[in-house]
């Protein structure tokens, strides 16, 4: 699974860099496409480290007890990287320059949505993602400190 995510992310990065194909006019700027690709790559690496190196997760959702500190740190950095990249993308959609085109799906069908409502939704999502990133950062540092002192995380 990690290799599949990594491969998909690599293709997206190569697309954003113009090495493979060319983005359509009106698509996101190349740097946003590259950020999306790296989010997939880091996610794939997190799966590989979490299940291939750290032997899975414990009952609390953290890496397995007894995982060495450096592996634990790498896992936290990969997760933080994914969170930051997703927050950056949502922030660009909400607040970046240029027009945006949104669609909405609801109980009674689907169709185009206004640019304002789309930007508001992505703005709220961006704020929540940055808040999540901050919380994850604090939790990761605390868990790493406890693991460094030999306590169970």
pLDDT (tens digit, 9 = 90+) per residue, 105-148?
Answer: 878 778 888 999 999 999 999 999 999 999 999 999 998 988 88
Nearest to 84, CA basis, from 92, 97, 113: 92
Give a yes or no: residue 104 inside a domain.
Answer: no
Give a yes or no: residue 106 inside a domain.
Answer: no
Give a yes or no: residue 105 inside a domain.
Answer: no
Calculate the CA 119 to chain-centre distance: 19
Give a yes or no: residue 127 inside a domain.
Answer: yes
Give a yes or no: residue 141 inside a domain.
Answer: yes
Contact 87, 133 (CB under 8 A): yes
Give the Cα separation of 80 and 42 in Å (integer): 9
How high is the mean pLDDT of the chain? Answer: 90
Tell me the residue range of the domain where 87 lies: 2-98+111-148
Contact 117, 102 (CB under 8 A): yes
Structural domain count of the chain: 1
């Amino acid at each position: 699974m990690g290799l599949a995510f990594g491969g998909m992310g690599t293709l997206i990065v190569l697309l954003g860099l113009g090495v493979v194909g060319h983005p359509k006019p009106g698509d996101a700027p190349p740097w946003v496409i590259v950020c999306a690709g790296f989010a997939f790559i880091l996610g794939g690496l997190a799966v590989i480290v979490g299940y291939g190196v750290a032997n899975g997760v414990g009952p609390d959702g953290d890496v397995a007890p007894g995982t060495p500190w450096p592996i634990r740190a790498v896992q936290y950095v990969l997760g933080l990287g994914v969170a930051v990249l997703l927050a950056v993308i949502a922030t660009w959609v909400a607040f970046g320059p240029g027009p945006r085109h949104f669609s909405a799906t609801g109980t009674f069908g689907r169709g185009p949505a206004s640019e304002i409502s789309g930007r508001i939704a992505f703005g709220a999502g961006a704020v929540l993602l940055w808040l999540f990133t901050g919380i994850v950062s604090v939790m990761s540092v605390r868990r790493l400190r406890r693991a460094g002192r030999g306590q169970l995380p």
